[in-house]
Structure 1
Amino acid sequence: MTISSRILLLPGWQNSGPGHWQTRWESAYGDHRVEQHEWMRPLRGDWSARLEEEVLAAPGPVVFAAHSLGCILVAAWAAHSRNTHRVRGALLVAPGDLERDDLRQLIPGWAPIVRQPLPFPAVLVAANDDPYCDAARSRQLAADWGVRFVDAGPGGHLNAESGLGDWPEGRKLLNEISKDKH
């Protein structure tokens, strides 16, 4: 008997609005959004503690579907949690480069980005024209985290403005990760 994974949606800074693929997945598939206490001035420790609560509250294994700052959260959380064994995998989409001066000032306290290999399988998907993270940096983050990299081609920040709709390609990757055995 296979235990199905709970999909935890990890939005980035300012949350994901109605047209975002995460919100659409929440409505279409019943995925569970991790609600943070403060979306506008995120604190890494608070966000990590909230993620830990959600992982522990899940009835079984979890799979992360993270966007932007949510990707950076996954790396930070995984470096400190004793519960990474509960994570079946992660879809990491369009990580923001929080070490860049402009973003570090907008969202302080998240640099340096944790660069340890993730202890679970993951795929990092990034566009080659993301305004918040250079394509080479996205590839380097994937290498540092020890995860597979998928070049989404041109698509910006892979958010609502990118016109992804329900983003079936992303869902296919998520389903592959959910089925991974490790």
Structure 2
Amino acid sequence: MSPIAEPTLVFVPGLRDHVAGHWQTLLAERLAQAGRAVRTVPPVEGNRLSLDVQVGNLAATLAPLDGPVLLVAHSAGAITTVHWAGRHRADVRGALLATPPDFETPLPEGYPTPAELADHGWTPVPRRPLPFPSVVAASADDPLAAPERVAGLARSWGSRLVELGAVGHLNPASGYGQWPLAEELIRTLEADSANAPLGSTPTGGHP
């Protein structure tokens, strides 16, 4: 029996794109240096607030990859991932969805309004089960989403909910930086995929 291919880790940033001190950036760099196959969705060209542009950017990143992938998304990147899953197919073995924002409730000042998000395609946020295993990591004091709203999204997506405690929006403004739990959650998703029964289909295909 041939060994199961190790998935390429694809990092999906939020609307702020690449931040040097962000845990996604630091983890992607460290894993690449350790020999893992790593890709990061590049900065958006054009209208960053457009959902279609964001989903297309993720799809373009995945298209040339050969073999399984595991998605590592943060903030709006998690919502992009969920919208992508309703439109595209790929050999996705799992997704870590860290601190998804609640785009259906007004966000703090300085963020897009519900009307702007609706005009750009983000809402309504899909609430059908994802076609691959997923973990939603939720913060108890995220300024962009109340815990009960994130828990509701996790239930709708069929995701395992991991409560992180008070970690803000899990970004440099909240003190992260390194987030060691991310790698543990990635390993758990990889193990779940590797231990899937023969004949199962942990992919992005839809019935």
TM-score of the superposed pair, with normalisation by structure 2: 0.81
1:165 Cα deviation after fit:
2.9
1:18 Cα deviation after fit:
1.1
Identity %: 35
More helix by share: 1
Cα distance in structure 1, aligned partners of 2:45 and 2:172:
21
- Residue in structure 1 matching 2:20, options 18, 21, 25: 18
Deviations 1:1-43 (A, max 9, x none): 2211110100001113111100101211123110142487321
1:89 aligned partner: 94
Within 5 A, what are the aligned runs for 1:1-182? 1-30=3-32, 31-38=38-45, 41-81=48-88, 83-84=89-90, 86-102=91-107, 103=112, 104-105=114-115, 107=117, 108-181=120-193, 182=196
TM-score of the superposed pair, with normalisation by structure 1: 0.91
Q: Secondary structure at the match of 1:150?
A: strand
Cα distance in structure 2, aligned partners of 1:101 and 1:161:
20
Conserved in 2, the CA contact under 8 Å of 1:75 and 1:116?
no
- Amino acid in structure 1 at the alignment position of 2:25: T
Cα distance in structure 2, aligned partners of 1:39 and 1:121:
31
- Amino acid in structure 2 at the alignment position of 1:27: E
Deviations 1:134-175 (A, max 9, x none): 000010000000000001000100111222332111110011
Conserved in 1, the CA contact under 8 Å of 2:48 and 2:54?
no
1:48 Cα deviation after fit:
1.3
Q: Which runs of 5+ in 1 are unaligned?
A: none
Q: Which runs of 5+ in 2 are unaligned?
A: 33-37, 197-207
Q: For the pair shown, which has the larger CA radius of gyration, 1 or 2?
A: 2
Cα distance in structure 1, aligned partners of 2:172 and 2:46:
17
